């Protein structure tokens, strides 16, 4: 028994020197001092010792337990003191660590400003799926399968009936399918067209489309809404004009131009020396669309409009290549 006591003592002295943190110290405690530890096992074996030898053996066991307990307590104090000292090390002469603060992407900034203007006019926001079906993307918007206007939009088809939406107008159809007039919404979001990627075009871009349907809605209200938007967004000094155009889902249709805010209407490379910039398309909702959503065309009228966000962003911030908006180059984004 005395040999066992001495052996455990030597092992404890070796083990305590290898303890460097509180986790290993707890392992040491469990091994030697716990109820099922090595020291406790020796006390359990004491009953098997001759009665005459028990007092001496018991004394040696108590000394062993006290030695190991002392080793444990001293190591614990040492580790705690070292940890506290490490936490207190603070060099106040070091420069502060810079905090990198993110910024809004220029597209997000432009989009949020446009949305807030229309929110103040009483429009609400609506969303729809980017993976769309042919019915909502084309047919319900007066694009029959053989309609030549489909050639205006190069489409990413997933199969014959499923595609990536080419505009956010399907959101308007989905809203009208589920809500009776009055309907007054804007539909911002990403759209996709199978176009060659260049400095002026990309296969992915963003749109904001608007829809207002109620009793007695007129083209004059459409013009008033868009003029109010343009003056808030581009400045009250701008001039504007509406040109006749064609869209399958509106009749009559128009495109809205404003004076070029780069050259103030004098003519420059951006506006191709015309002094005008096209900013959006619009028109009165074609009565043919109402039959797809269950609206009475004799009772309700409405208008719709839509604008691309990338072009507006490029003009506002002097960006001459649309591709840089999607490259996520931190050097570019930090400018905003």
Better-predicted residue by pLDDT, 109 or 91: 109
How much is the pLDDT for 150? 62
How much is the pLDDT for 112? 94
Query: Which residues are paired to 183 by β-bridges?
Result: 213
At 126, phi and psi to the nearest 5?
Answer: -135, 150
Strand 250-259, strand 276-285: pairing:
antiparallel
Instruction: Report whether 117 contacts 232 (CB < 8 A).
Output: yes
> 3-28 burial by CB neighbour count: b if 16+ within 10 A, else e?
ebbeebbeebeebbeebeeeeebeeb
> 238-254 burial by CB neighbour count: b if 16+ within 10 A, else e?
bebebeeeebbbbeebb
How much is the pLDDT for 300? 94
Task: Tell me how far CA of residue 15 lies from CA of 8, 66, 165, in angstroms.
Answer: 10, 16, 69
Q: What is the pLDDT of residues 38-59, one digit of tens each?
A: 877 777 777 777 777 777 877 8
pTM for the structure as a whole:
0.66
Examine the pLDDT at 86 and tell me if it is beyond 70.
Answer: no
Instruction: Report whether 313 contacts 223 (CB < 8 A).
Output: no
Q: What is the CA radius of gyration of the chain?
A: 39
Q: Spell out where the chain has E strands.
A: 124-125, 131-133, 162-164, 183-192, 204-214, 240-247, 250-259, 276-285, 301-308
How much is the pLDDT for 168? 93
Instruction: Report whether 254 contacts 319 (CB < 8 A).
Output: no
How much is the pLDDT for 232? 92
* CA angle (294, 297, 299) in 5-degree steps: 105
Examine the pLDDT at 262 and tell me if it is beyond 80.
Answer: no
Average pLDDT over residues 22-30: 85
Q: How far apart are CA 181 and CA 302, in angstroms?
A: 10
Better-predicted residue by pLDDT, 284 or 154: 284
How much is the pLDDT for 44? 76
3-state class (DSSP) for residue 301: strand
When the pLDDT of each residue in the chain is averaged and rounded to a whole number, the result is: 86
Better-predicted residue by pLDDT, 307 or 20: 307
* CA angle (91, 93, 94) in 5-degree steps: 75
């Amino acid at each position: 028994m005395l040999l066992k006591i001495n052996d455990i003592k030597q092992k404890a002295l070796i083990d305590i020197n290898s303890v460097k943190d509180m986790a290993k110290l707890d392992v040491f405690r469990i091994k030697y001092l716990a109820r099922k530890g090595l020291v406790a096992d020796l006390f359990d074996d004491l009953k098997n010792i001759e009665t005459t030898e028990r007092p001496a053996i018991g004394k040696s066991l108590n000394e062993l337990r006290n030695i190991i307990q002392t080793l444990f307590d001293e190591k614990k104090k040492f580790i705690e003191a070292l940890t506290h000292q490490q936490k207190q090390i603070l060099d106040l002469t070091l420069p502060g660590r810079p905090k990198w603060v993110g910024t809004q992407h220029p597209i997000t900034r432009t989009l949020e400003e446009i949305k807030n203007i229309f929110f103040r006019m009483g429009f609400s926001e609506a969303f729809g799926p980017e993976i769309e079906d042919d019915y909502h993307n084309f047919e319900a918007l007066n694009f029959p399968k053989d309609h030549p206007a489909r050639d205006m939009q190069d489409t990413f088809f997933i199969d014959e009936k499923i595609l990536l939406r080419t505009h956010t107008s399907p959101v308007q159809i989905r809203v009208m399918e589920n809500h009776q007039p009055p309907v007054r919404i804007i539909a911002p979001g990403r759209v996709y067209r199978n176009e060659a990627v260049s400095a002026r075009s990309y296969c992915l871009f963003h749109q904001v489309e608007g829809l207002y349907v109620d009793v007695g809605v007129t083209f004059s209200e459409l013009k008033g809404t868009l003029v109010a938007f343009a003056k808030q967004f581009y400045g009250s000094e701008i001039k504007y004009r509406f040109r006749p155009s064609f869209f399958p889902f509106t009749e009559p249709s128009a495109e809205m131009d404003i004076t070029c805010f780069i050259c103030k209407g004098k003519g420059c490379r951006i506006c191709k020396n015309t002094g005008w910039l096209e900013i959006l398309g619009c028109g009165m909702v074609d009565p043919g669309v109402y039959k797809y959503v269950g609206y009475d065309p004799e009772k309700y009228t409405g208008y719709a409009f839509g604008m691309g966000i990338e072009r507006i962003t490029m003009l506002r911030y002097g960006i001459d290549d649309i591709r840089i908006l999607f490259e996520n180059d931190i050097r570019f984004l930090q400018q905003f």
